[in-house]
Amino acid sequence: MEEDDKPRLSRLTALITQLQSKRIVTAKYLAERHNVSVRTIYRDIRALEKSGIPIITEEGKGYSIMEGYHLPPVLFTEDEANALITMEQLVIKNKDQSLVENVSGAIEKIKAILRYSQKGNADLLTDRVYFGGNNNEEKTSDNLMQLQSAIIHFQVLKIEYHSSEKKRTTRDIEPFAIYSINGNFLLIAFCRLRNDFRAFRIDFIESLVPQNETFTPHDMTLKEYFEKYVKNQ
């Protein structure tokens, strides 16, 4: 039986975590994550609802937990705690100061809920994990977090951009997405100056000023952007 593949109590606990970690999740996604049928997920959701978990069902979309409702954090396994410490050390090598500060702050809060025995192990692992590259821990930008905020709030930005050809321009842009290549973060945005999408190296943005203006979300996925603008280059 499917129930034997993973103890139901363990699966129900994991479902709560997954429901809290996303705005909305589908039964199909949860079924694939736990290697069970969609019907089993339906039964699990009903069981959680009966236990008092305020799950909201959005017809045709999926499930979410009522805003403002939170359960106490679950305990991390040793491997999960170790993965977080490794991720922190990897991020520290990143060149964007805002990313480093925010990830370190988030992981510090996570460490606060580790079991006492795990905290000592976490400190030990921090001293024993090292990633090469950017050995001087140079920080060349401090804009990543602000750009992410502009992407999710569809906020127009005015930037001063110093291109690789040493040309300085002032542009109003509509941020669309961020990706990384060769250790550098690039911002994909609709440039009103060029009336088309452009990729901007984040460390070449000399100043960034949010405008009191929002834009209509672009009807395009990141995959479609790459297929249209990058694939044939």
Burial class (CB in 10 A: 0-12, 13-18, 19+), 185: buried
pLDDT digits (tens, 9 = 90+) for 64-101: 888 777 666 566 777 887 888 888 888 888 888 898 88
Q: Angle formed by the axes of helices 97-112 and 78-92, to 10°?
A: 160
Amino acid at 157: L
Tens-binned pLDDT, residue by residue, of the chain (233 aa) = 344 444 677 788 888 888 877 788 899 999 998 889 999 999 999 999 988 889 999 888 899 888 777 666 566 777 887 888 888 888 888 888 898 888 888 887 777 767 666 667 777 777 777 777 666 667 788 989 999 999 999 999 999 999 878 889 999 999 999 998 877 889 999 999 999 999 999 999 999 999 999 999 999 999 999 998 877 65
CA atoms within 13 A on the CB side of 140: 14
3-state secondary structure of 56: strand
- The answer to whether the predicted template modeling score (pTM) of the entire model surpasses 0.85 is no
Residue 154 near residue 215 (C-beta atoms within 8 A): yes
Phi, psi at residue 173, to the nearest 5°?
-130, 155
The whole-angstrom distance between residue 210's C-alpha and the CA centroid of its chain comes to 21
Let me know the angle formed at the C-alpha of 27 by 47 and 56, rounded to the nearest 5 degrees: 60
- Backbone conformation region of residue 35, classed left if phi is above 0, alpha if psi is from -120 to 50, else beta: left
* The CATH number, out of the four listed (1.10.10.10, 1.10.260.40, 3.30.360.10, 1.20.140.10), of the domain defined by the range 2-65: 1.10.10.10
Let me know the angle formed at the C-alpha of 54 by 49 and 5, rounded to the nearest 5 degrees: 45
**Fold topology of 144-230:** SH3 type barrels. (2.30.30)
